[in-house]
Structure 1
């Protein structure tokens, strides 16, 4: 069994599967566009000097029990970027703004991660940043929030797009993400900000109703801040198409419905994956 197979199967736990089904159900119930691995935790945005590690078409995934028709087009390999400049141009076509989430979501400050930086989970399960690894041509994380009000606290969202040279490299990114959850169910984002009780699952295309992505990765747990307040739900949802991975991370807030948070995560991820397919997929006919 290869390292990738071990990573993708290591945490097929029931709880993670239930979360995945809940995400599908939220989308099918209406509100999301339809149907990711860089690791950009949904915590406070980094300072410019220390950047944080940070689906298909507009059709939603089918509800449980329905027949899944593949929504993954054939990759046009001639469209894959070969240089960092080409990757950045592709990234700009995929990354989203606050409009993808709806009127309640606004930009945080800073709005974007610094270019050329990559998150790494060290041996002590603490997130660090370093230069881009050889398999990454370009990556970007954007930071959003729903300000506190209407009976709830501040909700935080991150949107990350990463462009690799090819499909194999983006697949290994997903495998490493799964390994990180298994190795470090407790993670430190930075001083005073922690993720606890993390669980994750990966589904290849055709597995567990995944008909919109070549690989779908979901992670969930609890976000704890030293600034006070109750621990809040934390979600990371990622999808892959060809050399591209797209991901949305979300941190809940007191008084904010968890179902609404998961819907926003799927909605943002759906938009980015749809734009990746439009940019890299073969034209029909």
Structure 2
């Protein structure tokens, strides 16, 4: 998370949905729980889109699906803001991880001391970091307008909490925000409409790559008019870390192409989080 723009979370759960994350992770994008009350809060909407099971997740010889989530190495978990910032540096990605047409935006990074909050009127504001967050970073990218399409925007966010309980609560709150505010205001003249959310724990609906995954689907509108465009959001959790990628589409750009970039970025970051904090095999 980083600023109000970051937190208008939405993901196009089309034919791929969460399955795309599993497929990309199986392809090797890089080498290499929250509380029960909080999790229950993320499963209370019948309107949530339900992603299909990844067809490429091969069963083991015993017939069970192989997990891509290692055990968390508690000794590697950061305890101070300084340690958390060192971990962030190992997880965040640059534009080359998203695609050859993606470039940095200005500003490139969020204020590291600010945190987005959805107020009672469904308007995004920023506040100082809450006590459970050790460090957070949001980076802003875009695909310049060209070849008949408008400017496409992509944001990536990594947040390091004090423990996995707090990161689990972040995912639960994300679901609550969609239920409470299916229409949200990012800033003056920019809105999200008709948001739907889906939260999937490890082992459910083919999720074998994350302790908890959250997806959203909706549209966004901007000042100056124009047709509403798709807004995408993928979020995943491992231990005390959450990673997320948002994609804001533009007229003339294929939704499937943007979804691929969003999933690719999320897969890269969650893989790097597991490499940094997971126990070594064997």
The equivalent residue for 1:139 is 136
The total of aligned residue pairs comes to 243
For residues 81 and 57 of structure 2, the distance between their equivalents in structure 1, rounded to whole angstroms, comes to 43
Deviations 1:192-214 (A, max 9, x none): 00000000010000001100000
For residues 202 and 5 of structure 1, the distance between their equivalents in structure 2, rounded to whole angstroms, comes to 9
For residues 224 and 113 of structure 1, the distance between their equivalents in structure 2, rounded to whole angstroms, comes to 22
1:63: how far off? 2.1
For residues 138 and 104 of structure 2, the distance between their equivalents in structure 1, rounded to whole angstroms, comes to 12
The equivalent residue for 1:100 is 97
The equivalent residue for 2:21 is none
1:12: how far off? 4.5
The equivalent residue for 1:224 is 221
**Normalization by structure 1: what TM-score?**
0.82
Which of these residues, 186, 189, 206, is aligned with residue 192 of structure 1? 189
State the secondary structure of the residue aligned to 2:269.
helix
Native 8 Å contact 2:42 2:173 kept in 1: no
For residues 158 and 199 of structure 1, the distance between their equivalents in structure 2, rounded to whole angstroms, comes to 19
For residues 64 and 194 of structure 1, the distance between their equivalents in structure 2, rounded to whole angstroms, comes to 36
Deviations 1:63-104 (A, max 9, x none): 278543210001000000000000011001100000101211
Native 8 Å contact 1:12 1:200 kept in 2: no
For residues 166 and 260 of structure 1, the distance between their equivalents in structure 2, rounded to whole angstroms, comes to 35
For residues 214 and 46 of structure 2, the distance between their equivalents in structure 1, rounded to whole angstroms, comes to 11
Q: State whether structure 2 residue 245 is matched by structure 1 residue 253.
A: no
Q: State whether structure 2 residue 169 is matched by structure 1 residue 172.
A: yes
State the secondary structure of the residue aligned to 1:198.
strand
1:2: how far off? 5.8
Residues 31-110 of structure 1 correspond to what in structure 2 (within 5 A)? 62-63=54-55, 67=59, 68-110=65-107
For residues 171 and 272 of structure 2, the distance between their equivalents in structure 1, rounded to whole angstroms, comes to 19
For residues 234 and 280 of structure 1, the distance between their equivalents in structure 2, rounded to whole angstroms, comes to 30
The equivalent residue for 1:4 is 38
The equivalent residue for 2:262 is 265
Native 8 Å contact 2:118 2:177 kept in 1: yes
The equivalent residue for 1:280 is 277
Q: Which blocks of at least 5 consecutive residues in structure 1 are unaligned?
A: 25-61
Distance 1:12 1:76, change over 3 A: farther
Deviations 1:208-255 (A, max 9, x none): 110000000001101011222211000111000000000000111111
